[in-house]
Structure 1
Amino acid sequence: MRSLFNIIRVLWLYLWAIIATLVLAVPIIAAGLLSRTGNLAFSLSKIWAWTMLAVSFVRAEIKNRERIRPATSYIIISNHQSLYDILALVTTLGIQYRWFIKKEILKVPLFGYGLYASRNIFIDRSNTARAIESINRGIDRLPPGVSIMVFAEGTRSPDGQIHEFKKGGFVTAVRRNIPILPVTVNGSRRILPKGSLVVRPGKVQVVVGEPIDAGAYTLESVDKLIDETRRVVITNFDPGYAGRFLT
């Protein structure tokens, strides 16, 4: 019986994902074509995220949002536990930001072009020179006050632990003198762990750390910036967080 229920739940979510994508794809792409900033397209993408949270019976909440300074661009550094991290971050932070995304996502019908229309930054992870060129070009075309989101571990955690951070986002922060905003996501792995299709109802918590001045570091000391950022993310990490949707 449990297996049948899980199958029905998965089919339910896939159905809603398809409906939400089909309904919002045209407005998001149109907004991206009509606006050079991508801000409207990003705002419309929140509707997709809210819809998926609602039909999953998942609630996202945020702690310490007041630490985010309005109209300030950040390199947002987050841990990565689940696909639901994305939905939680999009719906709670309350600021405009774009993603560093592997270029292969562009091939996903509608979804990939919607991300492109929102002015996200696609990178070729197999070619460092091209990746740096794409990052610089992407940042240059972002409007003032728009941040960049980076999952510094590079992929979802397979075991629920916070793994080592990759340098890419931190090097960009130092070179561009963009402050780091450490963000921790709690509870999302319980909702949907890596490798699973079954979504459990519950809460996801987003915790905002104090911004870190990347201008105080150099490329030679970027490892210290990485260590400090990771320390903040881990300090706010609660591996036992298991918020219930109806509390």
Structure 2
Amino acid sequence: MLNSIRTFSFLFGYLLFSVVSLKKFIKQKPHLTVEEYDQLVHTEPQKWATGIMKRTKSSVSITGLEKLPDGPVLFVSNHEGNFDIPVLLSTISKPFGFISKKEVKKMPIIPLYMEEMNCVFLDRTDRRSALKSITDTVKKLKDGHSILIFPEGTRSKGQAMGEFKSGFMRIAKDSGVPIIPIAIHGTSDVMEKNNNRVLPATITVQLLDPVPAERIQELDSKKAIALVRTRIEEAISSLPKKKAVIEDRFKYVQ
């Protein structure tokens, strides 16, 4: 219970203080390149996300940062739990926005940062909104911003990885940027598997080999989707089973 209180108090409390920084960043925007401004804005979300994960008392490791190319990329990740975004923001040095459900826009302060991070808001009940989100994401990538997408569309909560919806491949093909597949594992152990109580977990993030833009263009969409999904699935399945972590969780729950 204390973990949950600490985590969510920081999650919302930090945002109140970060508004001052955001206003300063926006004033500097006209004098900076796209890359410089994205990097500047990224500093506060990264501090916020790092603070969140620290308060969950989770262990987070990442491999493959050396695979990151210069320029914009489309990050494509499996979606295990609510803590995927904080984990990825806290560990990936390359600034990125992400596609989020439109309901987040009703929250205080968070949407202000998301706008500056180049996030795209999606109404999953409206087909026209879904099509517009694809167009908006392509434009942001062409403008030099990196974007993260979860093609499953919903959290697996630690179960088998779901099918990938095809929209991300249209984005990749239309924008002409490389795809960086991401395999994330263990975030559902933080909350989803604990009746929404926040508990420590062991989390791994693997940045896999980029799929070059040229390769994406030469493959038909179904084969390209299968290629990305298979890489992520194989990376997750190759991880050692977490017996020790499961035993530790029982100690916390009891």
State the TM bucket, normalised to the shorter chain.
0.7 to 0.9
- Partner deviation per Cα, 1:150-194 (whole Å, 9 max, x = no partner): 011111114521110111111110122221111001121222226
SS at match of 2:103: helix
Is 1:58 the counterpart of 2:58 in the alignment?
yes
Q: Name the SS for the 2:192 alignment partner.
A: coil
Residue in 2 aligned with 1:9? Answer: 3
2: CA distance, partners of 1:182 / 1:60? 18
For residues 68-127 of structure 1, give each alpha carbon's deviation from its aligned partner in whole angstroms, at most 9, with x where no partner exists: 12x232111101111221111112121011101222211111112221232212233333
Pick aligned residue for 1:27 from 21, 25, 43? 21
Q: Evaluate the alpha carbon distance shift between residue 163 and residue 239 of structure 1 in structure 2; reply closer, same or farther with a 3 A threshold.
A: farther
1:174 is the counterpart of 2:173: yes
More helix by share: 2
Ranges in structure 2 where 5+ consecutive residues have no aligned partner:
246-254
With over 3 angstroms needed to count, the CA separation of the structure-2 counterparts of 1:81 and 1:242, relative to structure 1, is farther
Q: Within 5 A, what are the aligned runs for 1:23-172?
A: 23-28=17-22, 30-32=24-26, 34-35=28-29, 37=34, 39=38, 40-69=40-69, 71-141=70-140, 145-172=144-171
Opposite residue 222 of structure 1, the aligned amino acid is S
Deviation sequence 1:181-238 (CA, Å, 0-9, x none)? 1100112122222683212223311111111134334598211111000100011103
Q: TM-score, normalised by structure 2?
A: 0.82
Say whether the 8 Å CA contact 1:179–1:213 is kept in structure 2.
yes
| 1:240 matched residue in structure 2 | 241
CA distance in 2, matches of 1:159, 1:112: 27
Contact 1:152/1:165, CA 8 A, preserved across alignment:
yes
* Structure 2 residue matching 1:35: 3-state secondary structure: helix
Q: Is the Cα–Cα contact under 8 Å of residues 138 and 171 in structure 2 kept in the other structure?
A: no
1: distance between equivalents of 2:205 and 2:102?
27
In 2, distance between residues paired with 1:128 and 1:206? 32
The amino acid that maps onto 2:101 is K
User: In 2, Cα distance between the equivalents of 1:32 and 1:162?
Assistant: 39
How many matched pairs?
A: 237
- SS at structure 1 position matched to 2:220: helix
Write the distance in 2 (CA, Å) between the matches of 1:169 and 1:195: 31
Instruction: Return the alpha-carbon distance in structure 1 between the equivalents of residues 86 and 126 of structure 2.
Output: 29
Q: Is the 8 A contact 2:77 2:181 kept in 1?
A: yes
Letter aligned with residue 240 of structure 1: K
In the alignment, structure 1 segments of 5+ residues that lack a partner are 1-5
Change (3 A) 1:23 1:241: farther
For residues 27 and 130 of structure 2, the distance between their equivalents in structure 1, rounded to whole angstroms, comes to 24
* Residue 242 to residue 115, structure 1, CA distance change in 2 (3 Å): farther
One-letter amino acid matched to 1:25: V
> Would the alpha carbon gap of residues 82 and 239 (structure 1) be closer, same or farther in structure 2, given more than 3 Å must change?
farther
Call closer, same or farther: CA 1:97–1:159 in 2, change over 3 Å: closer
Give the whole-Å Cα distance in 2 for the aligned partners of 1:88 and 1:79: 13
8 Å contact 2:158–2:188 — kept in the other structure? no
Q: Is the 8 A contact 2:118 2:145 kept in 1?
A: no
Residues 214 and 111 of structure 1, relative CA distance in 2, 3 Å threshold: same
